[in-house]
Amino acid sequence: MCGISGYYSFNNQNNKLEANLRAASGQLSKRGPDSEGFFFDENIGLAHRRLSILDTSSAGSQPMTTDDERYTLIFNGEIYNFQLLRKDLISKGYSFQSSSDTEVLLKMYACYGSECLQYLNGFFAFAVYDKAENELFIARDRMGIKPLLYSFDGETLYFASELKALLEFPVKRELDHSSLRQFFQFNYIPTPHSIIAAVKKLEPGTYLKIKGKSLQRKAFFQLDNKTDATVASLSYEDAKKKLYEHLDESVRLRLISDVPLGAFLSGGIDSSCIVALAAGHTKNLNTFSIGFKDNAYFDETYYANLVAQKYNTNHTVFKLSNDDLLAHIDDLLNYMDEPFADPSLAAVYILCKETRKKATVALSGDGADELMAGYNKHRAEWRARKGGALNSLLKYSKPILSALPKSRNNKYSDKIRQAYRFSEGLNLADRERYWRWCSYLSEQNASELLIEKGVQKDFLQRKDEILRFLDDDGDFNDVLRTDIHLLLPGQMLFKVDHMSMANSLEVRVPFLDHNLVEFVNSLPAEYKIDKNLKKRILQDTFREILPQELYNRPKHGFDVPLLSWFKKELNGLIMNDLLSDDFIEEQGIFNYDAIRALKQKMMSSNPEDVHAQIWA
């Protein structure tokens, strides 16, 4: 796991951009604390920050150049099948000076060019400079696990692992107002856009190739509605066996490391499956959980301990108080370089920080909810499509539910909140319902927060692109495909990448092995969700090897007590500084009346989820 940055200029500006590149690399120091390297040629500069995982010797350092000096590589990520690929390359006459996956990737590109991407099993963002052709090639992994941002002004292409590094280059800094509007709907900015109009995120499964004055962008992987007929026709029992085999192999590959390795264990089904399989491949597995001293409703360490005991792991629990969470707010916000308002940021940050004290690599259960229908919104969508008398009743209950207290902070108000959103969604067509249930705010409410709304045509084009898999008579699997393209890279993977890299920790996600993803994508929707179970096939596949207490219990996630903070510890900062009347007017971005209404609602007897809007 590392950080990369670079530029390719048509005007041979090495003497002007070298200082920018060194500054950009400095911004990535937490991604790569072990070493730093640079490469310069006539019109190109490449920088690499290294977090050593495989072949920790200097032989694995980057930038790495082939013996004939034609190809130079900088690489962030891991190639899990590198040993198999290495054997293939040796049979073709290639030799190796290291045992690193970096050298394998470099020579795979030398051998196959862009087609090498079809052979790679891993997560990555990398750039290869071809000196003979004066060509730069940049690629991002199929699922978007590793980030890559770029900016092209017609004369120079700049790229980096993080926005803060990219902004060390002379990139035009203007707000993307459509992105800002989407942010207040989703609490994150969907790929491929960023908060800066001139900066784009390279889409998952896509590469860039720049040569001369030509910039080509091409997808090498797309998860669409085309399914494998053989997989789609599997019986449920056979599909369970195949799922187990795919996930077991994925976990096995992700245990390869030359540094200490462990696994996150939340007590949910997803991380528990990963730990159960990993324990079968390695002895003395280290596992890590986070608990909440001050909020038993969100504390799931009891269930994590059950799994740890069953598989005899070296288990560590980090019990956090509200003060612990609050103490890290400045650190995590300072690391973020783009608006991102997932309330679980603080908990994930501390989990990574504490885990890094005992391990350099951690396995995670991320991705299973999007692949196999694990969210409450999936159950709601399934029920909405089925119809029935209860739906008819709830459809017209919105006026009553709107008057009741709604909040995520306790069991009863959370149920009312969910019922209200369900009623709201029942009155919408499928596409609009998906859009609303992915959002914290409606389009209208998000728009009302801002003075400059952005170009409506641009906003609607982005919306249509996100919803491209959905139509009003489509398959439920289309909902999951849309989540994989929207939610995974934009929210879940962005969060885990930034919080882990802020602590120099590599996090690996076995559920997002592309072979597993393609397999699950082809399964019938009824294998993933029915009237009784979300993630049905995953739960049934592992039912016999996990503690029964894990099943059919509420899913809480890593929420933190934002409302309490805003009313108490952070009240002065919110009311008198960040959202003060003078500061809001001085910025000239937000609608003063809308912000004042949010502050008033926060202090009312029925604040609902206003704290999430204020956090954003």
∠ CA 371-530-547, nearest 5°, is: 75
Domain boundaries, the chain: 2-219, 229-371+480-550, 562-616
Longest C-alpha distance within the chain, in Å?
Answer: 74
pLDDT at 533: 93
Residues of the chain with pLDDT under 70: 1, 13-14, 54-55, 294-298, 403, 406-410, 552, 554-560
Angle between helices 301-310 and 269-279 (to 10 degrees): 20
pLDDT for 413? 75
Secondary structure (DSSP) of 159-226: EESSHHHHTTS-----B-HHHHHHHHHHSS--TTB-SBTT-EEPPTTEEEEEETTEEEEEES----S-
Write the pLDDT tens digit of every residue in 310-366.
999 999 998 888 788 888 888 888 899 999 999 888 889 999 999 999 999 999 999
Q: Measured between alpha carbons, how far is residue 3 from residues 31, 124, 300, 342, 399 in Å?
A: 5, 11, 33, 23, 51
Catalytic positions: 2
Give yes or no for a cis peptide into 192 (omega within 30° of 0).
yes
| DSSP-assigned states of every residue in 377-444 | HHHHHHHHHH--HHHHHHHT-HHHHHTS---SSSHHHHHHHHHHHHHHHHTS-HHHHHHHHT-SS-HH
Please tell me the predicted confidence (pLDDT) of residue 507: 97
Q: Which residues contact 170 (CB under 8 A, 6 or more apart)?
A: 20
Per-residue model confidence (pLDDT) at position 558: 59
Name the CATH superfamily for 2-219. Aminohydrolase, N-terminal nucleophile (Ntn) domain (3.60.20.10)
pLDDT of residue 296: 65
pLDDT score of 359: 92
- Distance in angstroms between the alpha carbons of the first and the last residue of the chain: 29
At 450 the three-state DSSP class reads strand
pLDDT of residue 569: 80
Q: Report the distance separating Cα 318 and Cα 311, nearest Å.
A: 19
- φ, ψ of residue 92 to 5 degrees: the values are -95, 5
Token pair 């641009």 in the structure block, residue = 458
Strand segments (E) across 51-154 = 64-65, 71-79, 122-130, 135-140, 149-152
pLDDT in tens, 176-200: 999 999 999 999 999 999 999 999 9
Rounded CA separation 117/290 (Å) = 37
Please give the helix or strand (H or E) that residue 288 lies within, else none.
Answer: strand 286-292
Contacts of 55 (CB under 8 A, 6+ apart): 98, 99, 100, 102, 258
The CATH T-level fold of domain 229-371+480-550 is: Rossmann fold (3.40.50)
Neighbouring C-beta atoms of residue 141, cutoff 10 Å: 27
Question: What DSSP letter does each residue of 501-523 carry, written as one string?
Answer: HTTT-EEE-GGG-HHHHHHHHHS
Bridge partners of 36, per DSSP, are 49
